[in-house]
């Protein structure tokens, strides 16, 4: 793939959408391009993640360990960033990834990404804001579950009081 095509794909990634063309060019030029054949493993579940992988061509099968081996949980294709968290912090791969047919990726190491946001602090600020919005949305989505759990705990406490009262009679 050409540098211009890589830049166009990187620009589609929500986490990278605020990057300017010259910043994306630097990122694409400094990152590593890799090709995989059908069935070849991109990474294993639980292994240390040293950065992100952007799929530039092809399809990847994401699989989680189940009772009877691995089960496919999703198939992703061009323009997908695998390992977004790994670009920012030390983490482990939550699943394994296998190529379905021929797959091309851009590998962005955490060290390269951190250098980019250190050189361009406005990118770091925008990334912080993006993640802050995601965390707020997650908290809002979890709030009803927390409320329901508190309600269940209250009912359980009332039941224990009634059971203790009956037992002491």
Beta-bridged to residue 43, according to DSSP, are: 97
pLDDT tens digits along 22-54: 999 999 999 999 999 999 999 999 999 999 999
Give me the pLDDT at residue 121, please.
83
- Per-residue tokens: 120: 């361009």
Give me the pLDDT at residue 17, please.
85
Instruction: Please give the Cα distance from 103 to 157 (Å, whole number).
Output: 55
Q: What is the mean pLDDT of residues 141-157?
A: 89
Beta-bridged to residue 136, according to DSSP, are: none
Give me the pLDDT at residue 10, please.
92
73 three-class SS: strand
pLDDT tens digits along 94-142: 999 999 999 999 999 999 999 988 888 888 777 778 767 777 888 888 8
CA 10 to chain centre: 15
Give me the pLDDT at residue 92, please.
95
pLDDT tens digits along 61-107: 999 999 989 999 999 999 999 999 899 889 999 999 999 999 999 99
Q: What is the mean pLDDT of residues 153-167?
A: 86
Q: Which residue has the tokens 């059908």?
A: 38
Q: What is the pTM of this model?
A: 0.76
Confidence of residue 1 (pLDDT cuts 50, 70, 90): low
CB 34 within 8 A of CB 107: yes
């Amino acid at each position: 793939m050409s540098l211009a095509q890589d830049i166009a794909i990187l620009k589609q990634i929500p986490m990278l959408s605020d990057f300017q063309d010259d910043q994306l060019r630097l990122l694409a030029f400094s990152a590593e391009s890799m090709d995989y054949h059908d069935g070849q493993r991109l990474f294993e579940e639980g292994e240390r993640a040293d950065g992100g992988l952007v799929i530039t061509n092809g399809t990847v099968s994401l699989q989680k360990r189940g009772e009877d081996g691995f089960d496919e949980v999703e198939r992703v294709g061009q323009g997908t960033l695998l390992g977004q968290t790994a670009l920012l912090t030390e983490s482990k791969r939550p699943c394994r990834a296998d190529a379905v047919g021929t797959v091309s990726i851009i590998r962005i190491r955490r060290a390269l990404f951190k250098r980019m946001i250190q050189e361009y602090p406005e990118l770091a600020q925008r990334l912080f804001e993006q993640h802050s919005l995601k965390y707020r949305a997650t908290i809002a989505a979890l709030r009803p579950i927390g409320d329901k759990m508190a309600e269940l705990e209250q009912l359980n406490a009332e039941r224990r009081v009634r059971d203790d009262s009956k037992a002491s009679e």
